[in-house]
């Protein structure tokens, strides 16, 4: 089977997207992109170029922005005493969608992973230290993944932050909302017991 070279290239490109296998790439190429009108293709082309040219990381917190300071850092109604550390730009939006947090963020570039050779330099601790020393932060909330890398990084950050006069907290672990106890795995149930709260 031999596709025209341009179609083969398009399929290989689509194939790089997560969850898009060869068959799906073929479907996207033949059933969608090749059917799109010229102006739609021009739109997506210019949008991708615009995103690449205009989106950058906020100098202060590391969130994505198209201005010098991001939406979260420049919003004067947000609480300046709360700093939430997350592992990726996308997680900022996940937390925002809860509408429970009105503080500021700090986005790490990567999590610690000794196995992959990612040591403490990836955390750029100087940036966090500067923010604490030059602001009114009184509580740092560590909101990282519940994985080996997330746990290792959280513990490291906790130890680093102990030298500052700030409260350090971590997101609670527990039973997923709407789930029955009998179906919750042992590890999650154990952490839910450890993190139990009065009500």
Overall residue count recorded for the chain in this entry: 199
Instruction: Give the Cα separation of 11 and 61 in Å (integer).
Output: 36
Radius of gyration of the chain (CA): 22
CB-nearer residue toward Zn ion: 12 or 80: 80
Instruction: Give the Cα separation of 76 and 80 in Å (integer).
Output: 9
Instruction: Give the Cα separation of 33 and 41 in Å (integer).
Output: 8
In sequence order, the β-bridge partners of residue 13 are none
58 belongs to the binding site for Zn ion (CB under 5 A): yes
Closest contact distance (angstroms) between CB of 54 and Zn ion is: 16
Q: Which stretch binds Zn ion (CB under 5 A): 4-12, 50-58, 119-127, 139-147?
A: 50-58
60 belongs to the binding site for Zn ion (CB under 5 A): yes
CB-nearer residue toward Zn ion: 103 or 174: 103
73 belongs to the binding site for Zn ion (CB under 5 A): yes
Concatenating the DSSP letter of every residue in 62-110 gives --EESSSS-HHHH-TTS-SSEEEEESSHHHHHHHHTTT---SEEEE-S-
Closest contact distance (angstroms) between CB of 105 and Zn ion is: 7
Q: Which stretch binds Zn ion (CB under 5 A): 41-49, 63-71, 170-178, 187-195?
A: 63-71
Q: Which stretch binds Zn ion (CB under 5 A): 69-77, 134-142, 165-173, 188-196?
A: 69-77
Instruction: Give the Cα separation of 104 and 96 in Å (integer).
Output: 11
**Count of residues that bind Zn ion according to CB under 5 A:** 6
Q: Do the beta carbons of residue 143 and residue 91 sit within 8 Å?
A: yes
70 belongs to the binding site for Zn ion (CB under 5 A): yes
Q: Which stretch binds Zn ion (CB under 5 A): 59-67, 86-94, 120-128, 158-166?
A: 59-67
89 belongs to the binding site for Zn ion (CB under 5 A): no
Torsion-angle region of 137 (φ positive above 0: left; ψ -120 to 50: alpha; else: beta): beta
61 belongs to the binding site for Zn ion (CB under 5 A): yes
Residues that bind Zn ion (CB under 5 A): 58, 60-61, 63, 70, 73
């Amino acid at each position: 089977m031999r596709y025209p070279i341009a179609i083969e290239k398009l399929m290989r490109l689509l194939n790089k997207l997560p969850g898009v296998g060869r068959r799906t790439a073929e479907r996207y190429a033949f059933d969608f992109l090749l059917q799109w009108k010229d102006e739609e293709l021009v739109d997506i082309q210019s949008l991708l170029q615009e995103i690449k040219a205009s989106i950058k990381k906020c100098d202060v917190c590391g969130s994505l922005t198209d201005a010098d300071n991001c939406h979260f850092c420049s919003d004067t109604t947000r609480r300046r005493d709360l700093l939430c550390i997350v592992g990726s730009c996308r997680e900022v939006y996940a937390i925002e969608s809860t509408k429970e947090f009105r503080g500021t963020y700090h986005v790490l570039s990567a999590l610690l992973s000794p196995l992959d050779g990612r040591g403490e330099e990836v955390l750029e601790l100087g940036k966090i230290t500067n923010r604490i020393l030059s602001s009114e932060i009184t509580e740092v909330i560590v909101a990282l993944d519940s994985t080996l890398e997330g746990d290792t990084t959280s513990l490291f950050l906790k130890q680093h932050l102990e030298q500052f006069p700030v409260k350090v907290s971590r997101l609670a672990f527990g039973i997923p909302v709407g789930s029955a106890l009998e179906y919750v795995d042992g590890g999650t149930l154990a952490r839910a017991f450890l993190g139990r709260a009065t009500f």
